Amino acid sequence: MPAHELRCAQCDLLQNMDELHAGQGASCVRCGHHLCSVPLHPFDTPLAYALTTLILLILSCAFPLLNLHIAGVESQMTFLSSAKSLVDADFGIVANVLLSCVLLTPALFLCAVIYLSLALKWSMHWPGLRSVLRLAIRLEPWMMADVFVIGILVSLIKLAALAQIGLGLSFWAMLLFSLSLIKTVTVFDVHWFGFQLDHLEGLPAQQLRMNGAKACTVCGFFNGQQALKCERCHARLYERRPHSLAMTWALLITAMLLYLPANLYPMMITESLGERTPSTILEGVLLLWRIGSYPVATIIFVASVVVPLVKFISIVVLCIAAQSKSKKSALHYTRLYRITELIGRWSMVDVFVVVILVALIHMGKLMSVFPGVAAVSFAGVVVFTMLSALSFDVRLIWDAQSRAESESRKL
């Protein structure tokens, strides 16, 4: 990739990037945000990983995930049967979250990477390439296959003392799928793919790098001052995300309101010998702690109680910092934002554990598990906190620091 200018999407610093060769990358000199990297085999590496991951995704849905033996009764679950169990229990919203985050979103992302890689490899002007690039960028934060695998492992430890658990072929396919998906995301570099699309379609990027040019916050491309949509990925252009703080506050307050019923109402209901026992998140944690499952209790407590609270506090701090003249370095707040964005989706572990237990333990009056209403609320907490973090424009913090520094110089 030849040397060119690029504006950081997080601190808005315009900087010159040196020429990059295969296997090299670049980060922002001010905030350390990743700007661009070039794979060792630029066309073949993303394509190979995406194809492999897509095959593993299909295999993870084709065979049983887990087998359970208890009191002479056998039960098994597949990924699709887990969604069906939720629909049968009238929890279609949770089923949609499961299918979207673990199956549909990764599948669309992988198809987008394959489509883009083949078009660039063969230098083909296929329709919708820029829209496909934007779709892949938007889907990336919502893929939770690795969180689902952690949910499976937590469920295994939770059931180990009650029943005999067997691992199906799809468990290994799901494990490999989640690892391969992570690798695919790392080799899919947005800026490099966008740069190759510019070269393929002859977009005159160098001529647009002038005073007043707008840099796209999605792909980093420079557009003319009057442009309303990015010429590279067709995303909407703006100096700062419109109504960013208002949207962030609204989504955050919605998540906080959902957090109350998520902790007050049952997360799941266990039926054993005709007796139903509802349990909230904290009751489940205490039960696991009393029976000696300390690692599982710790994981559930951190993911379901600590992480949402930390994320609430972090987003509040970020919003206040963007609206005030804080003396603390904007770099510290930017790092806090990255951590907040990173940990948000891991709170979905507890929801996935409930999904797995519901699909696996359905033995009538002997023992069955049903989802509680808190599962819907808690899934909403995770979704709305993620939306809140994604709607926050971290560049506002750097703007606030610039204003504070300008006023201090005047004094």
Same domain, 120 and 246: no
Residue 149 is assigned to a structural domain of this protein: yes
- Give the pLDDT score at 124: 86
Residues 142 and 66 in one domain: yes
Assigned token pair, 104: 């549909």
Task: Name the nearest CA neighbour of 299 among 144, 85, 147, 87.
Answer: 147
Same domain, 79 and 152: yes
Question: Looking at the domain assignment, is residue 195 inside a domain?
Answer: no
User: Domain for residue 131, yes or no?
Assistant: yes
Residue 388 and residue 271 share a domain: yes
Question: Is 271 strand, coil or helix?
Answer: strand
Are 251 and 172 contained in the same domain? no
CA–CA distance, 12 with 400 (Å, rounded to integer): 13
- 249 by DSSP, 3-state: which? helix
Q: Tell me 228's DSSP state.
A: S
Instruction: Clarify whether residues 247 and 145 are in a common domain.
Output: no
Q: Is residue 137 part of a domain?
A: yes
In the DSSP assignment, the letter for residue 19 is P
DSSP H or E segment with residue 76: strand 73-77
Say how far apart CA 360 and CA 179 lie, in whole Å: 24
C-alpha to C-alpha distances, 194 to 132, 191, 215, 266, nearest whole angstrom? 11, 5, 13, 47
pLDDT in tens, the chain (411 residues): 666 777 787 888 877 777 888 788 888 888 888 888 887 887 899 999 999 999 999 999 999 998 888 767 778 889 998 899 889 888 999 999 999 999 999 999 999 999 999 998 898 888 888 889 889 988 999 999 999 999 998 888 877 767 788 888 999 999 999 999 999 999 998 888 887 887 776 665 444 444 455 667 666 666 666 677 777 677 777 777 888 999 999 999 999 999 999 999 999 888 776 678 888 888 888 887 887 778 888 888 888 889 999 999 999 999 999 888 666 788 899 999 999 988 888 889 989 988 888 888 776 666 778 888 999 999 999 999 999 999 998 988 988 888 777 777 666
In this predicted structure, what is the pLDDT of residue 278?
85
CA distances from 260 to 81, 104, 381 (A): 30, 29, 10
pLDDT of 210: 43
- Which of the listed residues 178, 196, 216 is the one where a domain comes to its end? 178
What is the tally of structural domains in the chain? Answer: 2
End position of a domain, from candidates 123, 157, 178: 178
Which regions of 133-254 does DSSP assign to beta strands (E)? 164-167, 214-215, 222-223
| pLDDT for the residue 257 | 95
Report the pLDDT value the prediction gives residue 208, as an integer from 0 to 100. Answer: 42
What does pTM read for this prediction? 0.89
pLDDT at position 203, please?
Answer: 61
Note whether residue 109 is domain-resident: yes
Sorted by sequence, the CB contacts under 8 Å of residue 80 that are 6+ apart come out as: 61
Last residue of a domain, one of 122, 147, 178: 178
**Are 253 and 401 members of one domain?**
yes
Alpha-carbon gap, residue 106 to 90, rounded angstroms: 25
Q: Which of 165, 146, 145 is nearest to 155 (CA)?
A: 165
Q: Measured between alpha carbons, how far is 390 from 247 in angstroms, rounded to an integer?
A: 10
d(Cα 375, Cα 90) in Å, to the nearest integer?
12
User: Which residue do the tokens 């994320």 mark?
Assistant: 311
Compute φ and ψ for 215, nearest 5 degrees: -95, 130
Q: Let me know how long the chain is.
A: 411
Are residues 265 and 163 part of one domain?
Answer: no
In a domain, 281, yes or no: yes
Instruction: Give CA angle at 266 (261, 267), nearest 5°.
Output: 95
Q: 37-71: string of b/e by CB count within 10 Å (b at 16+)?
A: bbbeebbebbbebbbbbbebbebbbebbbbbbebe
CATH number at residue 398: 1.20.140
Domain containing residue 109: 44-178
Whether 116 and 132 have beta carbons less than 8 Å apart is answered as yes
* Residues 70 and 160 both lie in one domain: yes
Residue 223 lies in a domain: no
Q: Is residue 170 domain-shared with residue 246, that is, in the same domain?
A: no
pLDDT for 100 equals 94
Has residue 324 been placed in a domain?
yes
Q: Are residues 254 and 143 in the same domain?
A: no
